[in-house]
């Protein structure tokens, strides 16, 4: 399997990687999502070993990795799945993760789709179809765009709740 182009951007990052997630469900046929739904629990760091190792190495170099998730409340089962896996995957690898309800984000200027931004210089938009299946990624080497997205992300991050304090209803 070919690794995503973003992996090299993590390896090259020197300061920061920020990620905004806006969907309430992703990849409906994902085997991990199916296993979780059917009650088959697993170690997310083992299941997603390549990702875990990549983020662990990135944060070990001193690069901050921040992930914000804007979600509808009450949350979907998919968001419950993500919330359940976050401690053993994202947090354990050194990411910082925060959650923000759409209601609390209503007056913020929010980008139109999920993205990663690296070192305030490179942006990768993630495009999904209406069912939540990944379509493609779009890379932009544009520091002005990266700065605008980082500014929007900072407002989201400031308002969002850290993972260990965010309660699902």
- In 3D space, the residue among 162, 132, 152 whose CA is nearest the CA of residue 29 turns out to be 132
Per residue in 44-62, pLDDT (tens digit) is: 999 999 999 999 999 999 9
pLDDT in tens, 74-132: 999 999 999 999 999 999 999 999 999 999 999 999 999 999 999 999 999 999 999 99
> What is the torsional sign of CA 11, 95, 158, 63?
negative
Residues 149/153/156/159 CA torsion (nearest 10 deg)? -140
Percent of the chain with pLDDT over 90: 96
Distance CA 150, CA 165 (A): 23
Domain coordinates of the chain in residue numbers? 6-165
pTM summary value? 0.96
Provide the CATH number for the domain formed by 6-165 in this structure.
3.30.870.10
> Region 3-32: what's the mean pLDDT?
95
Query: Which two structure tokens, joined as six digits, stand for 5?
Result: 């182009």
């Amino acid at each position: 399997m070919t690794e995503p182009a973003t992996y090299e951007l993590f390896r090259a990052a020197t300061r920061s990687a920020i990620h905004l997630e806006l969907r309430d469900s992703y990849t409906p046929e994902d085997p991990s999502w199916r296993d979780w739904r059917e009650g088959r629990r697993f170690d997310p760091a083992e299941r997603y070993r390549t990702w875990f190792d990549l983020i662990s190495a990135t944060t070990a170099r001193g690069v901050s990795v921040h992930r914000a998730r804007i979600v509808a409340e009450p949350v979907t089962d998919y968001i419950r799945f993500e919330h359940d896996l976050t401690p053993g995957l994202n947090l354990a690898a050194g990411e910082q993760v925060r959650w923000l309800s759409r209601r609390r984000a209503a007056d913020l200027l929010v980008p139109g789709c999920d993205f990663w931004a690296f070192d305030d210089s490179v942006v990768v938009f993630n495009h999904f179809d209406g069912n939540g299946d990944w379509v493609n990624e779009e890379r932009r080497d544009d520091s002005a765009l990266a700065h605008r997205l980082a500014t929007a992300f900072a407002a989201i991050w400031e308002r969002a709740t850290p993972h260990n304090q965010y309660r699902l209803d």
